[in-house]
Amino acid sequence: MKPIRIATRKSPLALWQANHVAALLERHFPGIRTELVQMTTRGDKMLDAPLAKVGGKGLFVKELEQGMLEGEADIAVHSMKDVPVEFPDGLHLAAILKREDPTDALVSNRFAGLDELPANARIGTSSLRRQCQIKQRFPNAEILQLRGNVNTRLAKLDAGDFDAVILASAGLIRLEMAGRIRERLDPAISLPAIGQGAIGIECRRDDAEINALFGVLHDSDTAVCVRAERAMNARLQGGCQVPIAGFAEKHGERLFMRGLVGAPDGSVIYRSESRDDLDRAEDLGRHIAEDLLAQGADRILAALYPG
Ligand X SMILES: NCc1[nH]cc(CCC(=O)O)c1CC(=O)O
Q: Which residues are marked as active site?
A: 82
CB of 54 to ligand X, least distance (A): 12
Q: Which residues, listed in sequence order, are joined to residue 262 by a DSSP beta bridge?
A: 269
Question: From the CB of 150, what's the least distance to ligand X, in Å?
Answer: 6
Residues 227, 290: Cα–Cα separation, whole Å: 16
SS3 category, 274: strand
Min separation Cβ 104 and ligand X, Å: 8
Residue 196 binds to ligand X (criterion: CB under 6 A): yes
Is 101 a residue that touches ligand X (CB under 6 A)? no
- CA–chain centroid gap for 218, Å, is 18
Based on the shown chain and the rule CB under 6 A, indicate whether residue 263 belongs to the binding site for ligand X: no
Among positions 8, 79, 222, 241, the unique one binding ligand X when judged by CB under 6 A: 79
84 near ligand X (CB under 6 A): no
Please choose, from the candidates 41, 34, 46, the residue with its C-alpha nearest in 3D space to the C-alpha of residue 65: 41
Of 171 and 266, nearer to ligand X (C-beta) is 171
Q: Is 197 in the site for ligand X (CB under 6 A)?
A: yes
Does 202 help bind ligand X (rule: CB under 6 A)? Answer: no
**CA-CA distance, 135 to 220, in Å (whole number)?**
35
* Site for ligand X, residues 156 to 175, rule: CB under 6 A: 167-168, 170-171
CB of 3 to ligand X, least distance (A): 25
* Coil, strand or helix at 271: strand
Point out which span in 76-84, 205-213, 280-288, 299-307 binds ligand X (CB under 6 A): 76-84
Rounded distance between C-alpha atoms, residue 151 and residue 123, angstroms: 17
Contact predicate 218/265, CB 8 Å: no
Q: How many amino acids of this chain bind ligand X (CB under 6 A)?
A: 10
Give the nearest distance from C-beta 188 to ligand X in angstroms: 19
Residue 196 or 293 with smaller CB distance to ligand X: 196
Contact between 154 and ligand X per CB under 6 A: no
Q: Using CB under 6 A as the criterion, which residues of the chain lie in contact with ligand X when the complex forms?
A: 79, 81-82, 150, 167-168, 170-171, 196-197
